[in-house]
């Protein structure tokens, strides 16, 4: 029994919609991870500036911030290795990393 062209067309459209929704969910997931990474970076820079001024509390936060950084970087590197990130997301990672380099490099 053959399926009609209308049914095949509908099945193709349904598959395309499901694939599009899946990609959108994946993009949203990684956008949230990038939001976390950017927020972490901003907080790290803030604490770094305070620690340069001798703030002991900022210095005590370093182990937590280092662990958080390593976890986020590992997730993003894995996503990048598996080609799960868009070009826009990769550019965003570079921008975030440049914020860190610029802030830490110019304050010494």
pLDDT one-digit tens code per residue, 47-86:
888 888 889 998 888 788 888 888 888 999 999 999 999 9
Q: Judge whether 62 lies within some domain.
A: yes
Q: Judge whether 3 lies within some domain.
A: no
Q: Judge whether 4 lies within some domain.
A: no
Looking at every residue in the chain, the average pLDDT score rounds to 80
Is pLDDT of 21 > 80?
no
Q: Judge whether 61 lies within some domain.
A: yes
pLDDT band at 100 (very low <50, low <70, confident <90, very high): confident
Predicted pLDDT at 11: 53
Is pLDDT of 1 > 60?
no
105 or 18, greater pLDDT: 105
What DSSP state is assigned to residue 85?
Answer: S
Q: What range defines the domain where residue 43 resides?
A: 30-106
Q: Judge whether 86 lies within some domain.
A: yes
- Enter the tokens of residue 80: 């990048």
Total domains in the fold of the chain: 1
């Amino acid at each position: 029994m053959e399926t009609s062209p209308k049914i095949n067309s509908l099945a193709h459209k349904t598959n395309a919609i499901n694939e599009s929704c899946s990609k959108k969910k994946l993009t949203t997931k990684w956008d949230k991870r990038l939001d976390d990474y950017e927020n972490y970076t901003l907080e790290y820079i803030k604490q770094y500036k305070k620690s340069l001024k001798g703030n002991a509390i900022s210095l005590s936060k370093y182990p937590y911030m280092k662990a958080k950084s390593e976890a986020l970087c590992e997730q993003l590197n894995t996503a990048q290795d598996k080609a799960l990130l868009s070009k826009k997301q990769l550019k965003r990672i570079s921008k975030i990393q440049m914020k860190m380099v610029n802030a830490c490099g110019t304050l010494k």
